[in-house]
Amino acid sequence: MNIAVSMYGAICKSAESQCCVISGETCSGKTETGKRVLSGLLRLLKSEKPDISSKITMANIILDAFGHAKTPLSKNATRFGKFLQFFVSPDVTVISASFSEYLLEKMRVIRQRKEGRNFHIFYYLFCGMSQEELDQLYLGTIDNHRYLGFGSPLAETDAEEHQLGRMYLGVCKSMKNIGFTIEEIADCFQVLSGILNVGNIKFATKDESTELFVNTMDSIENAAILLGIEKEKFENALTTLSTTVDGETITAAKSISKASVGRDLLSKELYGRLFSWIVFKINSFIQCLDHKKKCSSAPSLGLLDIFGFEEFDTNTFEQLCVNSANEQLNFFFVQHVFAWEKLEYEQEGIEGPPLDYPDNKSIVNLLLEVRQPLLSLEIDKPLIMHNSFSC
């Protein structure tokens, strides 16, 4: 609550945008902290829309279901960066709000680490839908799906399974109340089912022939129906590669490994686009009319929650980017709290106790240093310039 009060007081006093960045190691309580800061802001802020508070709450329920997952360290880990902005008028009344999403961990859709799981929403379906509804979406049981671990338990206890079922009902209720139509909700679940069926598609070759074919016809047929595409065209796209040279199209069969990679890339992209569409729809429900015009020059209160720093033998690209952001934030903190304070003491001739603090500048330079960074980012100004830091 103190952080929310500080942000509110600062924007009232200066009429300048304020932002709270929540970062840290995974399982350090960032998500819960974000909820408490948000709750404090919603208590303090007046709004032109009387239902903005309830809509933000419902939006978070939906985004948590599609963007959170179980990891070895947390049962409800954030797996994307969520930025919420409240745009305010001169008297600090909310005129509009907007969500932005960054670096959704799409790799989790196709592969999870030991003791980890896919995104929550997949398990909500199996615990919340009737078997008849599951069969209509060609889902069967959780044991049928490669992307869910092929036989990994749906829930460790009956109580947990019941809880997942309640979460499914909560997501459906939130989507309906915030503004999604029944057809749009059904479409979301149909795409999710299509992704799981895509994951079950397998490839093979005939004898010594290089011709590739799908040997799980039920999976590709189900996926094609759910995604609304022609089965023959879908199979052709998965098993062959076409290249056009000088107006002539050359078609060649893919190898089994390349076809499998293409299948998984498709699943990741489908989930990523579904997630982005959900965020877009949520924004259409919580933003004011003519949002861009009214909010282009309005100050805002921002709340950024990024998923946590983790150390693995092998990182996903998204995790590497998040770890890089956390390294920057740590450098920013150390520079302000220790390095610059020590320099100011020395300039003013004040004797102080010796400060021994970790300096991760070499790591940040390796990742983002302007001349030859590991991650080449196109930015207007360098993130690190001698004694200055721009975040």
Single out the residue in 275, 310, 345 at which a domain terminates: 310
Task: Kindly state whether residue 297 falls inside one of the protein's structural domains.
Answer: yes
In a domain, 228, yes or no: no
Angle of helix 158-178 relative to helix 120-128, nearest 10 degrees, comes to 100
- CA–CA separation, 128 vs 155, rounded Å? 12
For residue 209, the model assigns a pLDDT of 62
126 and 37 housed in the same domain: yes
In a shared domain, residues 110 and 48: yes
Residues 109, 38: one domain?
yes
Domain annotation covers residue 316: no
Q: What are phi and psi of 384, to 5 degrees?
A: -130, 120
Task: Report the number of distinct structural domains present in the chain.
Answer: 2
Closest CA to 189 of 266, 137, 237: 137
At 390 the pLDDT is 30
Question: CA distances (Å), 109 to each of 43, 167, 326, in order?
Answer: 36, 20, 24
Q: What is the pLDDT along the chain (391 residues), one digit of tens a residue?
A: 789 999 999 999 998 999 998 887 777 788 888 899 999 999 998 887 778 899 999 999 999 999 999 888 888 888 999 999 999 999 899 999 999 998 899 999 998 888 889 999 999 999 999 999 999 999 998 888 999 986 566 766 778 889 999 999 999 999 999 999 999 999 999 999 999 999 999 998 876 567 788 888 899 999 999 999 999 999 999 999 888 877 787 888 888 999 999 999 999 999 999 999 999 999 999 998 888 888 888 999 999 988 777 777 777 777 788 888 888 888 888 888 888 887 888 888 888 777 777 788 888 887 777 666 666 655 444 433 333 323 3
For residues 381 and 297, membership in a common domain is answered with: no
Q: What is the pLDDT of residue 250?
A: 83
pLDDT attached to residue 152: 62
> What is d(CA 287, CA 49) in angstroms, rounded to the nearest whole number?
10
Element (H, E) at 37: helix 30-44
Q: What pLDDT score does 62 carry?
A: 97
AA identity, residue 148: L
Pairing status of strand 18-22 against strand 46-47: unpaired
One domain, residues 114 and 28: yes
Residue with tokens 């009737």: 130
| Cα 160 to Cα 61, 112, 170, distances in angstroms | 18, 20, 15
pLDDT number for residue 372: 65
Entry pTM: 0.86
Task: Cite the DSSP H helix spans in 200-339.
Answer: 217-227, 231-239, 256-286, 291-295, 317-334
The per-residue pLDDT for 381 is 42
25 in any annotated domain: yes
Report if residue 274 sits inside a domain: no
pLDDT of 386 reads 33
Residues 89 and 13 in one domain: yes
- Per the DSSP assignment, residues forming a β-bridge with 78 are 68
Going by their DSSP bridges, the two strands 46-47 and 93-102 should be labelled as parallel
Buried b (16+ CB within 10 A) or exposed e, 117-149: bbbbbbbbbbbbbeeeebeebbbeebebbbbbb
Q: Which amino acid type is present at position 357?
A: Y
Last residue of a domain, one of 250, 277, 310: 310
Give yes or no: residues 80 and 11 share one domain. yes
Tell me, yes or no, whether 142 and 77 share the same domain. Answer: yes
Q: Is residue 237 part of a domain?
A: no
Instruction: Please indicate, yes or no, whether residues 306 and 369 belong to a single structural domain of this protein.
Output: no
92 and 24 share one domain: yes
CA distance 47 to 156: 43
Q: What is the per-residue DSSP string for 265-282?
A: HHHHHHHHHHHHHHHHHH
Measured CA to CA in angstroms, residue 116 lies from 23, 72, 112, 138 at distances of 21, 5, 6, 25
| 343 shares its domain with 299 | no
What range does the domain containing 42 cover? 2-180+287-310
Instruction: Please report which helix (H) or strand (E) contains residue 99, including its range.
Output: strand 93-102
pLDDT at 383: 37
Do 303 and 371 sit in the same domain of this protein?
no
Which one of 310, 344, 374 terminates a domain? 310
Cα 193 from Cα 296, distance rounded (Å)? 39
Instruction: Tell me whether residue 369 is in a domain.
Output: yes
CATH number at residue 153: 3.40.850.10
Beta carbons of 69 and 308 less than 8 angstroms apart: no
Which 3 state secondary structure label does DSSP give 332?
Answer: helix
Residue 367 lies in a domain: yes
Q: What do you get for the CA distance between the two ends of the chain, in Å?
A: 24
